[in-house]
Amino acid sequence: MTDEHDARDALAGLINDDPTRIVVIGGGLGGLVAARDLARPGFEVTLLEASDRLGGSVQRIDLALSDGSALTVDAGAESFATRGGHVATFLEELHLSGEVVQPNPAGAWLQLPGKAIPMPKGGMLGIPVSPLSSEVIGAIGWPGALRAYLDRLLPPMRIGQEHNLGRLVRRRMGRAVLENLVAPVTTGVYSAAPDQLDVAIAAPGLNPALTRTGSLSGAVAELRAGGPSRAGSAVGGLDGGMWRLAEAVATDASRRGAVVRTGARVTGLSLGEGGTRYLVQVEGDPAPIEADAVLVDAPSAEALPLLAYVSPELDALARADWPEATSVELVTLVLDAPALDAAPRGTGLLVSDRVDPAFVTAKAMTHMTAKWSWLAERLPDGRHVLRLSYGRAGRVNESTTLSDSELRTRALADASALTNIPLTESQLVGFARVSWRNAQPLAAVGQRERLAALQSAVESTVGLEVTGGWIAGTGMASVIPHAREAAARLRGLRWRKLTETKSRTD
């Protein structure tokens, strides 16, 4: 009976004790997910978002079209990776699992110098499974395909021998595969070149699989077949757009009791006297908010200066040589262009960085109405939505300096070149631009070590957690479980507090 009485006492203590006050700094998807999981009896949760919009890169754009109609589409992320099942589980909790939709299986194309071709199927990050397939030969020619096939004849590499993705592909399959197949994919996914990416993060399990199978193509085939670290798996979306997920999480967090504030920029974060309370200063507020714990979901450029106030160790890490964030500009075009009905470039194109900028400057284009049937069904016949992406890691993104009119003209010219269909200003019924500042991806060479040091310092600071794409990894399949684990650790603080109080009383 002792254990039963202790459990009842513990439960009573949790209910009757003062609430544990938690402040979530940042209303991106990670912050929203954490706030929702934390909002339960015994916790007082306040989420502070600096901008007037929640969701971070999972936001909506409301377009007022020239014909008087309106259209809502995603401002950032428009799909999620199904790997691990984390997103699917979360969608089920929010009663959104019935709204999941699949993209057009036709897939994307590659824009290479002088030609556009369908992307070879079945690969991983552009690394082909069958180097001599007709699709690969069409992309890199017979000499390149034969060089790639040598991968089957080279001796296997030892686990961990090569960490740099670019060097690995160049060594095993040659420059043609690297430049024409892999580089366009990594630029589109990570805004980074293959030589900037860590194999262990960008393609988990690839090195061990290479050792087991004896070739890089064999390793990709094993992982694609559903090995223990299946990378590059399928994606899904939501009917109406992924922005619906962020809005559903925010609504549920508020329903559970979380206080959600927008337009609340945090200017200071510190430990109060005695180191048992956090003080969170919001711009314009006369006094700081006191909290027992803090979870930070701000972008790295904003999070690091805040963390620097908490401890000397975090201050030193925040002042380290962190890579500069990449600027990405997304341009949405809504066009009355029946010629696009045929989806001449599948669901869109990834553009090789070897393509002459005089031909096209975008790094990628998504034909949204060809990719998502739900969107096409909501539009009049012949109306299409194209989304172009600008900005490559290590390069100045000139699109950010252009006026709306200049960027609109450039995007129309790029879309015309990529689709091989003349598209004119007279066909344009809607335009929008969104700018994002993306941190160096977790998969970047050296970033894993920097983040490991930061996470170690955070773990040693009671009541502090950090989440978000820059520390969790790219995409919702990484952000959502990371945020939920951080929230679970903060919930555990209440149990530890009660246990410590009971021990002192006894």
Nearby residues of 344 by Cβ (< 8 Å), 6 or more positions away:
419, 420, 421
pLDDT tens, per residue, the chain with 506 residues: 455 545 444 444 545 578 999 999 999 999 999 999 999 999 999 999 999 999 999 999 999 999 999 999 999 999 998 888 899 999 999 999 999 999 999 889 999 999 999 999 888 899 999 999 999 999 999 999 999 999 998 887 654 567 899 999 999 999 999 999 999 998 888 878 898 888 888 888 888 888 889 999 999 999 888 643 333 348 899 999 999 999 999 999 999 999 999 999 999 999 877 777 999 999 999 999 999 999 999 988 899 999 998 989 999 988 887 877 777 899 999 999 999 999 999 999 999 989 999 999 999 999 999 999 999 999 999 999 999 999 876 666 778 788 999 999 999 999 999 999 999 999 999 999 998 876 566 667 777 788 889 999 999 898 999 999 888 888 899 999 999 999 999 999 876 665 554 444 55
Domains of the chain: 2-53+244-322+442-505 (3.50.50.60), 60-106+324-438 (3.90.660.20), 111-231 (1.10.3110.10)
How far, in Å, CA of 440 to CA of 201, rounded?
A: 13
Do residues 140 and 148 touch, judged by C-beta distance below 8 A? Answer: yes
Helices and strands (DSSP H and E) totals, the chain: 19, 20
CA dihedral 37, 39, 45, 49 (to 10 degrees): 50
* Cα–Cα distance measured from residue 324 to residue 126, given in angstroms and rounded to the nearest whole number: 26
CA 351, 355, 356, 359 torsion-angle sign:
negative
CA distance 239 to 323: 36
Neighbours of 278 (CB within 10 A): 24
Return the bridge partners of 431, or none.
333
Distance CA 163, CA 148 (A): 20
